[in-house]
Structure 1
């Protein structure tokens, strides 16, 4: 799989001619940021609230697009998101990023979540890498220090989750699920890892490297179940796992994020690479459906075979990463099958559409929003970028 493969141009076209134009059209020139919702009927909701996570992911996506292509319009879009983040979503008095603003940019939900701070670090680091904007680096560093000083619990050996505006710890409502409220989540930890990996590439500070190594240790020693080949999802403060859930999308996403952290920080512990491959092998063995798609999760032996947009995107990157590490051709075949399925069933063919949230086993799309607080260009635009860069790398090695 290289730049001569038809998939290369198909993915590039999807990214530049479908995904990015959709999000460019959502720029709110009157109130700043990007419109907070596009419903399933493709109706833009100009008065919908604007989530900070969505804004950070849009900022990351356009900064990454500008860095790869040099196209000035993407820089304008990134600057627009950066301005909204710094002027409307940053708490200048108490520090950190709030959860949600209203459509005009006024604070709507002022809770602070470590997951949200991590996405700020992630987006700001990418924006600095693309533009050299010193304020972006300064704010990324400040958020990193907040995550480390307020978010990390030395006694438990984990990152805390949810806080109120004044940084008083609260029950983790926003990042829990499956019927539990978790004190510790795998999801927050893999996205802090992702953020710090990107930060370390622009600011190779020893403390960031130390935190990356510690995160990898947490993932391996506390969250990874080698017998099941998965990362456990929810924990209490005593590190007891709260549910029997296998999140196939998070596992395959984590596999390549872990490898990326290993490479960025030059961490050579072999057990981390073994975890990367164990996750990829497990998802390939347990989560692939007969139509070539990837199911969502398994809970207590019950399969959720919903085909979710971001799971397909992350699986393709994760399996291509596994191929790069092993040379096993079956991982490439999985990428081709998932791309074929995604092209046919997940990508919204309607004029003005993007990707469906999910489809069922008969290919019927869920009636969920096409853009919203959690539905952003991050997973699918990043998939496009990662695939294109990795195929270029494979081509250069051929």
Structure 2
């Protein structure tokens, strides 16, 4: 894979040292949320659970892969801090959304997206350390999701308390990712059964039968939020779900090929800007562009999708994975030495002035998948 060797060296020599060094607050024992373009931490009024969970999972994976050394003790201490500061921090079931600089709850909302990522982090932490407490806490968290975020018509509420009735696919996607990681860590049938329920929800509710596109937003009973032709579709999520369905199959589940093929085709046909070759942020189910800007993460998810397609023997998929990995690298200029410009506007100008730590999860996820094919004859 032409772009892989360079990207792996960049990750090992620049990105992982940056985000475990300057990107980690030794005084608090937590990861920083953002760095400026001079690689200095940015003081924020709140630190989100989601970011801590993503970083713990990512560095656990990097350590297991041999890409990063000396982090086991730091990660274990960080996870212990996260549990102490976020889990039932206000005396109620679940994890608070964020804490203030003094370690007190800043937002007491129970957020499905954040809960999914702490389960994901616990699964990867267990694979690194073998500590059974991680599995016990993951199970407790899943039980709290079922209790605190219970919803009718399948799936879960996005958040509680909340006055927003919109149901979203995105946190359910990451919950599927989390329970698949948990199943791979434990081998327990019940985890795969939970994953299967989320796959069924996606195939029956999230995917538009006419276009094959996976929609983003829904009414409380899982009807498309907008009239036909006006619903938001994120090409990056087309690719991310394609990869997740592939993971579910790899672990023993089943998804019709017609469903996954249409996801990939829609992303290719409508999600890629013909002039730049980059993935646009959002379109509609009819293919009209909603947001012509470009973020880094869809390219990472595209790499994962086309690696999966290449492993399945799809012609041209390996070359597309390499193209998208090269595109992802353009978001990580040398001057930032392990950092990134997370978003460009439609004209190709930077649309942000800082570096979010949460991007590392996407970038490293793409590289871990790309390594599965690196060196293969199918990649030329």
Where do residues 355-366 of structure 1 align in structure 2 (5 Å cutoff)? 355-366=340-351
Q: Is 1:276 aligned with 2:233?
A: no
Query: Contact conserved, 2:38 with 2:336, CA < 8 A, in 1?
Result: no
Residue in structure 1 matched with residue 278 of structure 2 by the alignment? 293
Alignment of 1:300-379 (within 5 A): 301-329=288-316, 331-343=317-329, 345-371=330-356, 375-379=358-362
Question: What is the distance in 2 between the residues matched to 1:22 and 1:276?
Answer: 36
Match of 2:13 in 1: 17
Distance 1:321 1:105, change over 3 A: same
Cross-structure match for 2:108: 110
Q: What SS does structure 2 have at the residue aligned with 1:72?
A: coil
Paired with 1:46 and 1:76, the residues of 2 have a C-alpha distance of: 25
Q: Partner residue of 1:175?
A: none
For residue 380 of structure 1, what is the aligned residue in structure 2? 363
- Hey, what does 1:91 align to over in structure 2? 88
Once the two structures are TM-superposed, the CA of residue 388 in structure 1 deviates from its matched residue by 1.0
Q: For 2:292 and 2:298, locate their aligned partners in 1 and report how far apart those are by CA, in whole Å.
A: 11
1:218 and 1:239 map into 2 onto residues whose CA distance is: 10
Matches within 5 A, 1:242-257: 242-243=225-226, 244-257=231-244
Q: 2:3 is paired with a residue of what secondary structure?
A: helix
- Give the superposition deviation at 1:46: 4.2
Rounded to whole Å, the distance in 2 between the matches of 1:360 and 1:48 is 27
What is the CA RMSD across the aligned residues, in angstroms? 2.3
Taking a change above 3 Å as real, the CA distance of residues 340 and 8 of structure 1, as seen in their structure-2 partners, is: closer
The Cα shift of 1:95 comes to: 2.5
SS in 1 for 2:31: coil
In the alignment, structure 1 segments of 5+ residues that lack a partner are 165-169, 173-180
Given that residues 37 and 48 in structure 1 are in contact (C-alpha distance below 8 angstroms), is that contact kept between their aligned partners in structure 2? Answer: no
Cα deviation digits, residues 89-122 of structure 1 (max 9, x gap): 1115323211111233221111111221111100
* Closer, same or farther: CA 225–84 of 1 in aligned 2, 3 Å: same
Report the alpha carbon displacement of residue 146 of structure 1 after superposing the two structures with TM: 1.8
C-alpha distance in structure 1 between counterparts of 2:301 and 2:4, whole Å = 17
CA drift at 1:124: 0.5
Give the aligned length: 371
* Aligned with residue 153 of structure 2, among 152, 156, 161: 156
Specify the SS of the correspondent of 2:101: coil
| 1:163-242 equivalences in 2 (<5 Å) | 163-164=160-161, 170-172=162-164, 182=166, 184-242=167-225
**Structure 1 residue 305 displacement after superposition:** 2.1
> Which of these residues, 134, 154, 165, is aligned with residue 136 of structure 1?
134
SS in 1 for 2:283: strand
How far apart, CA to CA, are the structure 1 residues paired with 2:295 and 2:276?
14
Shift of 1:143: 0.8
| Gaps in structure 2 of 5+ consecutive residues | none
Cα drift, residue 77 of structure 1: 4.0
CA distance in 2, matches of 1:228, 1:76: 48
Do the aligned partners of 1:277 and 1:322 also contact (CA within 8 Å) in 2?
Answer: no
CA contact (8 A) 2:318 2:379 kept: no
Q: Secondary structure at the match of 1:291?
A: coil
TM-score, normalised by the number of residues in structure 1: 0.86
Q: Helix, strand or coil: the match of 1:230?
A: coil
Q: Is the 8 A contact 2:94 2:148 kept in 1?
A: no
Change (3 A) 1:352 1:135: same
Taking the aligned partners of 1:302 and 1:295, their CA distance within structure 2 comes to 8
Instruction: Give SS of 1:45's match.
Output: coil
Displacement of 1:262: 2.5
Kept in 1, the 8 Å contact 2:113–2:158? The answer is yes
Matches of 1:70 and 1:354, distance apart in 2: 17
